[in-house]
């Protein structure tokens, strides 16, 4: 039972995992960039919410 | 902007807090009871509701959904109001949520004890209760989002993200895994069969750990740890990465519970890869928690709450390191089906979930009653009892698991299996005794807490409505370009949709191929549907919770093939609604037990296992000898199976009971040959029929053909 056997039966199915991984990768990348670039003061403010 | 005066609702927090303590004690007592049954089978009291197979689901469900569930709601209802600077959306919904959940718990406990179960681990509850859970969960959701929408704080703190992800994913998991076809008020069959059922079940099972026992507790950690340490979380940036990475990766990891089984290889590998990846976000979160205490270690020495939290974070780190390791195929080959798994989950259950509940309650109750804790010393004693309890609980079980796996796999020089299965069980009984001592210490600690908190409550005065002031949210007028994440963050519904997409992608890719190509689970021509009598017997097997101790899955290992017979194939399970592969071998595997012993052996063994195998720790099932088979249910069961695609001939439901009686009579006669008199409609007859069927189909086909599958 190989992965390929399953997928052969669905037309154009190979695009789905690829697309999902792309979404996953892009989402992650954008999030990382945001996290790194985010304004230090905002971050500090948010992290203090539980204490105020 | 004028400030508004409003009140936090502490009453609902108080109720959930009380429920946490009550169900915690109940769940732990049930756990101790089943632990004792491992070395004193008499503790099952020869009474159906108190046998291991029925009590164990009571223990697991009570701990997960009653103890940890109520702990989550306590923490969420307290922290959400404060993080949103708003009272809960609706007091009435809070009350419905509370009483609804407690009602579900009571119904769950009663039905499980009475043997009403779906036979799927951690999802054992029958369909009416499943529906009730869905409704109460929706009530909780409305209350949660209602509060978030009317908040006075612009930013959503990361704890709230974890709550949102929890809500949406648990809803998805619960609904997908609970699709079942009702046969009667308290009996249903899983919609899925065999391999597919296993895949859905462990997608659910693993993510119940992820999204019920982990993400909401992480939310609590990100709120209560900074509160108790009185400093913000070490890195808020890290917490954002922690969140997205965790929910994205966790959802894929389920198949690691099915390594070396008949599950397709690619799905197994997918589970392994994502499980190994999980270590990164988990440890990021663990370090984030630990570093929050940086510079506050002097406080840890004095404050019992922080002491609990240090162990909480440490156990989270240990369990999430061990998890990926156990997901490696070579480690899993040893650990799976042994007590190693039990030790692993109790690091999480006792150390991570339990201690979080304790630490949180010790912090909350003095604040809500406006008085210091009754006795810090008693709380510190609780901490040490609990910590030592965890060590004494887990270390012997790690030892037991490893030892037993080695014994299973040992061959003599002549190439024979060295140990009988029973020898491997009796060998580790001292470890079971030690485990229950560890558990008892932990339980005594919990009693100390209840006493300590009761004294605190008596001494203080309950602040039912805590006053607070804050300005309402300004309408967004700024034209400054906002970053997309800030954009999501201020839109809780968008966050909800995004988390749903994220988890749905994982779930879909994991499961769809095995579903779409149903015909591609290689069918085996000789595998036939169960006869009506076997079907009734199977339902008895499910009812008594046999799967809690016996697997039905021979893995392709030399020792397992030598011990049990040919390894299991996906095509063997196509009529199994639900699958019964099991996850633990306290007793031997049963996948190939059919025809191994005469009918009379099973009869005597069920009456008293120790007659047939001295030293066995299996409970007696003497009531099966007297109970009558519920033949009235046969037609409905056959019809339900037909709906699910099991190929019984049309109209078979009307004549099924005739076949049932014929087969039952043949078993009665075979028992009579061995001088056992039994009525043919006794439940034991049905169970024998089922057990004798197990693994037989595949023996009926030529060797080469089986190998190809």
- Going from N- to C-terminal start, the domains of chain B cover 7-470+484-507, 532-708
What digits encode the pLDDT tens for the residues B282-311?
Answer: 999 999 999 998 878 899 999 999 999 999
Question: Any chain B CB within 8 A of the CB of A30?
Answer: yes
Residue with tokens 């015909």: B519
Distance from CA of B132 to the nearest CA of A (A): 33
**Interface ipTM > 0.85:** no
B414/chain A closest Cα distance in angstroms: 34
Phi, psi of B9 (to 5 degrees): -90, 105
Tokens (6 digits) for B611: 């007659």
Backbone angles phi, psi at B470, to 5 degrees: -160, 155
- Taking the Cβ of residue B478 and every Cβ of chain A, the question of whether any pair is shorter than 8 Å is answered with no
Question: Is it the case that residue B131 has pLDDT exceeding 80?
Answer: yes
For chain A, the domains span 16-51
* Nearest residue of A to residue B266, measured between CA atoms: A3
* Token code pair at residue B211: 């999204």
Q: What mean pLDDT do residues B204-210 have?
A: 89
What is the rounded distance in angstroms from the CA atom of residue B640 to the CA atom of residue B578?
13
Inter-chain CB proximity A1 and B240 less than 8 Å: no
Give the mean model confidence (pLDDT) for residues B54-75.
97
Query: Of A17-26, B134-143, B552-561, which range is least confident?
Result: A17-26
User: Is any Cβ of chain A less than 8 angstroms from the Cβ of B79?
Assistant: yes
* B515 to chain A, closest Cα gap in Å: 10
The answer to whether the CB of B82 falls within 8 A of the CB of B89 is no
Does B89 contact A at CB distance below 8 Å? no
B228 close to B309: Cβ distance less than 8 angstroms: yes
Q: In chain B, helix, strand, coil percent, each to 5?
A: 70, 5, 30
pLDDT for B517 equals 55
CATH topology of domain B532-708: Cytochrome Bc1 Complex; Chain D, domain 2 (1.10.760)
* Interface check B82 vs A, CB under 8 A: yes
For the entire predicted model, the pTM comes to: 0.93
Give the integer Cα–Cα distance in Å for B32 and B483. Answer: 52
- A-chain residues near B159 (CB < 8 A): 50
pLDDT, chain B, mean: 91
- In the block, tokens 């993200």 appear at B161
B439 within 8 A of B32, measured Cβ to Cβ: yes
- CA-CA distance, B23 to B29, in Å (whole number)? 10
Alpha carbon distance, N-terminus to C-terminus of chain B: 73
Please indicate if any CB of chain B lies within 8 Å of the CB of A35.
yes
Exposure string for B490-503, b = 16+ CB within 10 A, e = fewer: bebeebbebbbebb
Rounded to whole angstroms, the Cα distance separating B265 from B208 reads 23
Size (chain B), residues: 709
Instruction: Point out the residue among A9, A46, A47 whose CB comes nearest to the CB of B517.
Output: A9
pLDDT of residue B703: 57
Question: Is B517 within 8 Å of chain A by CB?
Answer: yes
What Cα–Cα distance (Å) separates residue B305 from each residue in B73, B224, B300? 19, 10, 8
Query: What three-state secondary structure class fits B4?
Result: strand
Which pLDDT score, from 0 to 100, does residue A3 have?
40
Task: For residues B214-233, give the mean pLDDT.
Answer: 95
Q: Is the minimum CB–CB distance between A9 and chain B shorter than 8 Å?
A: yes
Count of CB atoms situated within 10 Å of the CB of B523:
15
Nearest Cα residue in chain B from A9: B517
Give the residue carrying structure tokens 């016996």: B550
In angstroms, how far is CA B250 from the centroid of its own chain?
15
pLDDT of residue A8: 52
| Inter-chain contacts counted by CB atoms under 8 A, chains A and B | 93
Task: State how far residue A48 is from chain B, nearest Cα, in angstroms.
Answer: 6
| Residues in B touching A5 (Cβ below 8 Å) | 517, 520
Report DSSP state, residue B337.
B
Hey, CA dihedral for B357, B358, B363, B365, is it positive or negative? Answer: positive
B7-470+484-507 matches B532-708 in fold: no
CB environment B597-625: b (16+ within 10 A), e (fewer): eebbbbbbbbbbbeebbeebbbbbbeebb
First to last CA, chain A: 57
Across B187-196, B486-495, B576-585, B638-647, least confident range: B486-495
Q: Is B669 exposed, middle or buried (CB count within 10 Å of its CB: 0-12, 13-18, 19+)?
A: exposed
d(CA B21, CA B28): 11
C-alpha–C-alpha distance, residues B146 and B140, integer Å: 10
Pairing relation of β-strands B180-184 and B465-470? unpaired
Contacts of A22 in chain B (CB under 8 A): none
Mean pLDDT of all residues in B354-365: 98
State how far the Cα of B276 lies from the Cα of B270, in Å rounded to an integer. 10
How far is residue B188's CA from residue B531's CA, in Å, rounded to a whole number? 18
Query: What is the crossing angle of helices B599-607 and B683-693, to 10°?
Result: 130
For residue B353, pLDDT over 80 is answered with yes
Element (H, E) at B182: strand B180-184
CB-based contact, A12 to chain B, within 8 Å = no
Q: Smallest CA–CA separation between B99 and chain A, in Å?
A: 28
The per-residue pLDDT for range B157-182, each reduced to its tens digit, is 999 999 999 998 999 889 888 889 99
Mutate to test the interface with A, among B236, B470, B500, B707 (most CBs of A within 10 A): B236
Of B230, B485, B509, the CB nearest to A17: B509
Instruction: Please state, in angstroms and rounded to a whole number, the distance separating the CA atoms of residues B177 and B171.
Output: 10
Q: Is B291 on the interface with A (CB under 8 A)?
A: no
CA–CA gap between residue B495 and residue B473 (Å, rounded)? 19
Q: Is B465 helix (H, G, I), strand (E, B) or coil?
A: strand
Please, are residues B274 and A17 in contact by the beta-carbon 8 Å criterion? no
Using the structure block, give the residue that is written with the tokens 């491992």. B38
Q: Which residues of A touch B153 (CB under 8 A)?
A: 49
> Could you tell me which residues are beta bridge partners of residue B628?
B682
CB contact under 8 A, B484 and A30: yes
- Residue B183: the pLDDT is 94
CB-CB: which of B157, B232, B265 is closest to A1? B265
Write down the CATH number for the domain with range B7-470+484-507.
1.20.210.10
Q: Do the Cβ atoms of B355 and B425 come closer than 8 Å?
A: no
Q: How far is A31 from chain B (nearest CA, A)?
A: 7
Q: What is the pLDDT of residue A5?
A: 46
pLDDT digits 0-9 by tens, B241-279:
999 888 888 888 878 888 888 777 777 888 888 889 889
Interface residue B376 vs chain A (CB under 8 A):
no
**What count of other Cβ atoms lies within 10 Å of the Cβ of residue B633?**
16
Find out whether the peptide bond into B578 is cis, omega within 30 degrees of 0.
yes
Q: Sort B416 into a burial class: Cβ within 10 Å, 0-12 / 13-18 / 19+.
A: exposed
The three-state secondary structure class of B454 is helix
Nearest CB to B505; choose among A23, A37, A45: A23
Percent of chain B with pLDDT over 70: 94
Per-residue confidence band for B657, with pLDDT thresholds at 50, 70 and 90: very high
DSSP annotation of B6:
E
Distance, in Å, from the CA atom of B375 to the CA atom of B455, rounded to the nearest integer, reads 9
Closest chain A residue to the Cα of B219, Cα to Cα: A50
Residues of B in contact with A23 (CB under 8 A): 505
Say if CB B19 and CB B447 are below 8 A apart.
no
Rounded CA separation B617/B275 (Å):
34
Q: What angle do CA B442, B448, B451 make, to 5 degrees?
A: 150
Cα–Cα distance for residue pair B507/B509, rounded to 1 Å: 6
Put simply, the answer to whether B248 touches A24 (Cβ < 8 Å) is yes
Say if strands B465-470 and B4-9 run parallel, antiparallel, or are unpaired: antiparallel
Q: Where are the alpha helices (DSSP H) in B120-193?
A: 127-149, 158-177
Pick from B155, B241, B517: CB nearest A46: B155
Give residue B508's Cα distance to chain centre.
21
User: What residues in chain A have per-residue pLDDT under 50?
Assistant: 1-7
**Distance of CA B251 to CAs B127, B165, B507, Å?**
24, 12, 6
The yes-or-no verdict on residue B522 having pLDDT over 80 is no
Chain A nearest C-alpha distance from B277 (Å): 14
Of B82-86, B489-493, B546-550, which range is least confident? B489-493
- pLDDT mean over B497-504: 76
Residue B487's pLDDT band (boundaries 50, 70, 90)? low
d(Cα B446, Cα B458) in Å, to the nearest integer? 18
Residue B262 is predicted with a pLDDT of 76
Instruction: Supply the pLDDT for residue A9.
Output: 56
């Amino acid at each position: 039972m190989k992965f390929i056997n399953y997928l052969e039966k669905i037309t154009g199915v190979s695009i789905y995992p690829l697309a999902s991984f792309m979404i996953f990768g892009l989402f992650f990348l954008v999030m990382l960039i945001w996290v790194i670039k985010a304004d230090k003061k905002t971050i500090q403010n948010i992290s203090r919410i539980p204490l105020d | 902007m004028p400030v508004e005066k409003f009140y936090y609702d502490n009453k609902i927090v108080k109720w959930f807090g009380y429920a946490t303590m009550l169900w915690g004690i109940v769940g732990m007592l049930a756990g101790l009871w089943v632990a004792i049954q491992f070395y004193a089978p008499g503790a099952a009291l020869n009474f159906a509701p108190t046998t291991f197979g029925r009590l164990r689901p009571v223990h697991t469900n009570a701990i997960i959904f009653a103890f940890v569930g109520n702990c989550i709601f306590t923490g969420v209802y307290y922290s959400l109001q404060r993080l949103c600077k708003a009272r809960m959306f609706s007091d009435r919904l809070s009350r419905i949520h509370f009483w609804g959940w407690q009602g579900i718990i009571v119904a769950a406990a009663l039905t499980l004890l009475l043997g009403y179960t779906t036979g799927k681990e951690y999802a054992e509850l029958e369909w009416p209760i499943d529906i009730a859970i869905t409704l109460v969960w929706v009530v909780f959701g409305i209350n949660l989002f209602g509060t978030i929408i009317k908040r006075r704080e612009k930013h959503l703190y990361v704890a709230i993200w974890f709550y949102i992800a929890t809500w949406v994913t648990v809803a998805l998991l619960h609904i997908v895994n609970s699709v079942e076809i009702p046969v009667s008020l308290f009996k249903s069959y899983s919609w899925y069969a065999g391999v597919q059922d296993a895949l859905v079940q462990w997608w659910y099972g693993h993510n119940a750990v992820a999204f019920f026992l982990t993400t909401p507790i992480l939310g609590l950690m990100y709120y209560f740890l900074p509160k108790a340490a009185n400093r913000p979380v070490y890195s808020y940036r890290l917490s954002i990465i922690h969140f997205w990475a965790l929910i994205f990766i966790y959802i894929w990891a389920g198949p690691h519970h099915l390594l070396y089984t008949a599950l397709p290889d690619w799905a197994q590998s997918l589970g392994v890869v994502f499980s190994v990846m999980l270590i990164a976000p988990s440890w990021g979160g663990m370090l984030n928690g630990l570093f929050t205490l940086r510079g506050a270690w002097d406080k840890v020495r004095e404050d019992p709450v922080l002491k609990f939290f240090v162990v909480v974070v440490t156990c989270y780190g240990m369990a999430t390191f061990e998890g990926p390791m156990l997901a490696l195929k070579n480690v899993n080959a040893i650990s799976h089906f042994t007590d190693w798994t039990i030790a692993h989950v109790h690091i999480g259950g006792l150390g991570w979930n339990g201690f979080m509940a304790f630490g949180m309650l010790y912090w909350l109750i003095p604040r809500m009653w406006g008085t210091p804790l009754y006795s810090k010393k008693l709380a510190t004693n609780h901490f040490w009892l609990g910590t030592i309890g965890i060590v004494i609980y887990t270390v012997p079980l790690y030892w037991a698991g490893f030892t037993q796996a080695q014994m299973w796999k040992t061959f003599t020089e002549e190439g024979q299996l060295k140990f009988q299965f029973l020898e491997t069980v009796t060998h580790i009984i001292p470890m079971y005794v030690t485990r229950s001592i560890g558990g008892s210490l932990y339980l005594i600690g919990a009693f100390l807490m209840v006493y300590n908190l009761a004294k605190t409550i008596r001494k203080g005065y309950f602040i039912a409505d805590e006053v607070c002031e804050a300005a309402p949210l300004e309408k967004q007028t700024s034209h400054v370009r906002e970053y997309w994440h800030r954009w999501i963050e201020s839109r809780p519904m968008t966050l909800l949709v995004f988390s749903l997409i994220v988890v749905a992608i994982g779930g879909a890719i994991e499961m769809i191929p095995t579903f779409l190509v149903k015909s591609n689970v290689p069918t085996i021509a000789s595998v036939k549907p169960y006869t009506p009598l076997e079907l009734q017997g199977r339902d008895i097997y499910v009812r008594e919770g046999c799967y809690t101790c016996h697997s039905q899955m021979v893995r392709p290992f030399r020792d397992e093939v030598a011990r049990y017979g040919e390894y299991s194939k996906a095509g063997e399970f196509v009529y199994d609604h639900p699958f019964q592969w099991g996850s633990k071998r306290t007793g031997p595997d049963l996948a190939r037990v059919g025809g191994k012993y005469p009918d009379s052996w099973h009869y005597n063994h069920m009456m008293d296992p120790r007659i047939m195998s001295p030293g066995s720790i299996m409970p007696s099932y003497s009531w099966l000898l007297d109970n009558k088979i519920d033949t009235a249910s046969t037609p409905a069961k056959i019809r339900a199976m037909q709906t699910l695609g099991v190929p019984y001939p049309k109209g078979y439901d009307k004549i099924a009971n005739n076949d049932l009686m014929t087969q039952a009579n043949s078993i009665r006669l075979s028992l009579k040959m061995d001088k056992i008199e039994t009525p043919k409609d006794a439940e034991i007859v049905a169970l024998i029929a089922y057990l004798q069927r197990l693994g037989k189909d595949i023996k009926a086909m030529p060797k080469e053909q089986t190998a190809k599958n």
